[in-house]
Amino acid sequence: MRAFLDSLYRLSGALAAVGMVATLVMVSAGIVSRPLGIYLPGTDDYAGYAMAACGFLALAYTFKHGEHIRVSLVIERAGPRLRRALECFSLASATAVVAMLAWYSVRLAWQSHEFEEISQGVDATPLWIPQLSMAFGALVLLIAVVDDLVLATLGREPRRLATAGGEAVRME
Asked whether residue 64 is domain-assigned, the answer is yes
Neighbours of 149 (CB within 10 A): 19
Q: Is residue 122 part of a domain?
A: yes
Does the residue 88 lie in any domain?
Answer: yes
Find the helix or strand (DSSP H, E) in which 95 lies: helix 80-114
Residue 166 lies in a domain: no
Residue 80: per-residue pLDDT? 87
Nearest to 91 by CA among 138, 152, 169, 157: 152
End-to-end CA distance of the chain: 26
| 60: in domain | yes
Give the domain extent around 136: 2-153
pLDDT digit of tens for each residue in the chain (172 aa)?
889 999 999 999 999 999 999 999 999 999 999 889 998 888 889 999 999 999 999 999 999 988 877 777 788 888 888 988 998 999 999 999 999 999 999 999 999 999 999 998 888 899 999 999 999 999 999 999 999 999 999 988 877 776 655 555 444 4
Task: Tell the burial category of 57 from Cβ atoms under 10 Å away from its Cβ (0-12, 13-18, 19+).
Answer: buried
Burial of 157 per CB tally in 10 Å (0-12, 13-18, 19+): exposed
Q: 30 and 40 in contact (C-beta within 8 Å)?
A: yes
pLDDT at 171: 47
Whole-number pLDDT of residue 124? 86
The structure's pTM equals 0.87
